[in-house]
Amino acid sequence: VTIDAILLVGGEGTRLRPLTLTTPKPMLPVAGVPLVAHQLARARDAGIDHVVLATSYKAELFEAAFGDGSAMGLELEYVTEVEPLGTGGGIRNVLDRLRAAPEDPVAVFNGDVLSAHDLSEQIRVHVAGGAAVTLHLSEVSDPRAYGCVPTDPTGRVTDFLEKTPDPVTNRINAGCYVFRRAVIDSIPAGRPVSVERETFPALLAEGALLLGFLDAGYWLDLGTPEAFVQGSRDMVRGVIGSSALTGEPGDSLVLDGASVAPDAAVVGGSCVGVGARVGPGAVVDGSVLFAGAFVDAGATVRDSAVGRDAVVGTDALVEGAVLGDGAHLGSGNELLRGARLWPSAVIADRSLRFSPGP
Ligand code: GDD
Ligand code: MG
């Protein structure tokens, strides 16, 4: 018996610009492996063997990376929306690739989440409860950026409030669903549909059974630079595990072909990408260096992402910031507090500070 899954990877990842100008969010490296590779590994580990990727933005990069999926022990297919159809439209658009019978479960994943929840148990609860849809729920301290999902004491979903300023509970939609396949058939075809704003509220209004599956395991949406860097850091340290990783967890992960000077410090769950270099006396703490990035002598990079082939010049300070691919931050500069340097941008030596300096 095969279990189908759909992976939603068509979004533009706007909040993660400039990194997503060149790489779609689900392909960003988390502990050196594309984010979706971790999700595919989790799906496989839960017994799923056939995954359809619903692509749109930079669609071709997914198939180029994962092909037919056989290297991961999965069968992968790709369906591209020329105009993005939204989450519900993307799910409906792959219907003809599903092998599930009308009453069978189909797993659906947002493509930007790291989650350790028990997917097998979620599927079991869904089938046992005879639900139309079963939603993974997670508790977060600030629910306003998510779908707020109140339930009754039996776990039945009573409302779905997408990104409300006044959440009624801190239990949120964690972006992993189990649909009865027949419910996917009922989503209108050929136009944009949001499951969060249209499908779930309509199902609730009709009296359909939606169940919440609350799980206290690790969960993080990597939609912002801070969250992306944190997700990579957590995976390097083993706060969340992944069968897509081969090595052991540790304080840092230095990938093949990278070089770190003997007196440099790479710590705090940092990942140094393929072919990246860290120069003498430099400090890289809690950060992600993409492939080919270069942190020159004496520079400090904390809680930041340095894009492909980007350069942090000598003695520069980067903290809570992002350098796009190929960006060049000259010597002695400071890039702090949410600053974002666009791909290929060049900041001349000693020309940008957030403090009076020496
Ligand atoms: N195929 C396709 N087509 N995929 C899409 C489209 C589209 O038009 N739009 C978005 N996606 C994919 C994105 O690539 C991402 O993987 C996923 O759908 C969710 O989109 P986000 O843009 O990341 O949504 P969000 O984080 O603001 O909110 C969603 O996720 C939260 C949990 O992380 C919602 O589902 C919230 O209810 C939820 O709490
Ligand atoms: Mg998201």
The three-state DSSP-derived secondary structure of 137-205 is EEECCCHHHCEECCECCCCEECCCEECCCCCCCCEEEEEEEEEEHHHHHCCCCCCCCCHHHHHHHHHHH
Cis amide prior to 18 (ω within 30 degrees): yes
CB 147 within 8 A of CB 141: no
Q: Give the nearest ligand 1 atom to 14 CA.
A: 22
pLDDT at 356: 86
Indicate if ligand 1 lies below 6 Å from the C-beta of 113.
yes
Q: What is the mean pLDDT of residues 144-161?
A: 97
> What is the chain's mean pLDDT, rounded?
96
* AA identity, residue 177: Y
Report the separation in Å between the CA atom of 211 and the middle of ligand 1, taken as the mean of its atom positions: 20
Give CA–CA dist 317/349, Å, rounded: 12
CB 289 within 8 A of CB 309: no
Residue 8 DSSP class: E
Q: What is the mean pLDDT of residues 230-254?
A: 95
The residue assigned the tokens 């009308």 is 102
Report the separation in Å between the CA atom of 247 and the middle of ligand 2, taken as the mean of its atom positions: 27
Strands 161-162 and 147-148: antiparallel
Q: Hey, what's the torsion of the CAs at 113, 115, 121, 122, to 10 degrees?
A: -30
Q: In the structure, what pLDDT confidence band is assigned to residue 2 with cuts at 50, 70 and 90?
A: low
CB 51 within 8 A of CB 94: no
Residue 119 DSSP class: H
> Which residue in 48, 26, 46, 45 sits closest to 37, CA to CA?
26
- Does the pLDDT value for residue 358 go beyond 80? no
Going from the C-alpha of 102 to that of each of 61, 94, 135, 315, the distances in angstroms are 32, 14, 19, 61
Indicate if ligand 1 lies below 6 Å from the C-beta of 222.
no
**How does pLDDT run across 177-233, given as a tens digit for each residue?**
999 999 999 999 999 999 999 999 999 999 999 999 999 999 999 999 999 999 999
Q: Which two tokens stand for residue 231?
A: 């997700």
Q: Ligand 1: which of 8, 25, 114, 169 to mutate, judged by most atoms within 8 Å of the beta carbon? A: 8
Q: What is the mean pLDDT of residues 258-282?
A: 98
CB 156 within 8 A of CB 171: no
Indicate if ligand 1 lies below 6 Å from the C-beta of 6.
no
pTM for the predicted model, two decimal places: 0.95
> Which residue in 302, 291, 294 sits closest to 229, CA to CA?
302
> Which residue in 136, 138, 104 sits closest to 121, CA to CA?
136
Q: Give the nearest ligand 1 atom to 195 CA.
A: 35
Indicate if ligand 1 lies below 6 Å from the C-beta of 232.
no
pLDDT at 253: 97
Indicate if ligand 1 lies below 6 Å from the C-beta of 147.
yes
Q: Whose CA is nearest to atom 13 of ligand 1?
A: 11
Indicate if ligand 1 lies below 6 Å from the C-beta of 88.
no
Give CA–CA dist 335/347, Å, rounded: 10
Residue 243: partners with Cβ closer than 8 Å, 6 or more residues away: 41, 42, 44, 45
Going from the C-alpha of 44 to that of each of 48, 73, 90, 111, 264, the distances in angstroms are 5, 7, 21, 15, 38
Q: Whose CA is nearest to atom 19 of ligand 1?
A: 110
> Which residue in 322, 249, 233, 311 sits closest to 278, CA to CA?
311
Indicate if ligand 1 lies below 6 Å from the C-beta of 11.
yes
Q: Whose CA is nearest to atom 39 of ligand 1?
A: 146
Backbone angles phi, psi at 230, to 5 degrees: -65, -40
Going from the C-alpha of 295 to that of each of 66, 166, 181, 273, 277, the distances in angstroms are 30, 43, 50, 12, 6
- Does the pLDDT value for residue 357 go beyond 80? no
Q: Whose CA is nearest to atom 17 of ligand 1?
A: 110
Report the separation in Å between the CA atom of 14 and the middle of ligand 2, taken as the mean of its atom positions: 10
- Does the pLDDT value for residue 1 go beyond 80? no
pLDDT at 260: 98
Indicate if ligand 1 lies below 6 Å from the C-beta of 105.
no
Q: What is the mean pLDDT of residues 241-260?
A: 94
Q: What is the mean pLDDT of residues 336-340?
A: 96
Q: In the structure, what pLDDT confidence band is assigned to residue 355 with cuts at 50, 70 and 90?
A: confident
Report the separation in Å between the CA atom of 223 and the middle of ligand 2, taken as the mean of its atom positions: 5
Q: Which two tokens stand for residue 5?
A: 């899954």
Q: Which two tokens stand for residue 48?
A: 């799923």
Q: What is the mean pLDDT of residues 140-169?
A: 96
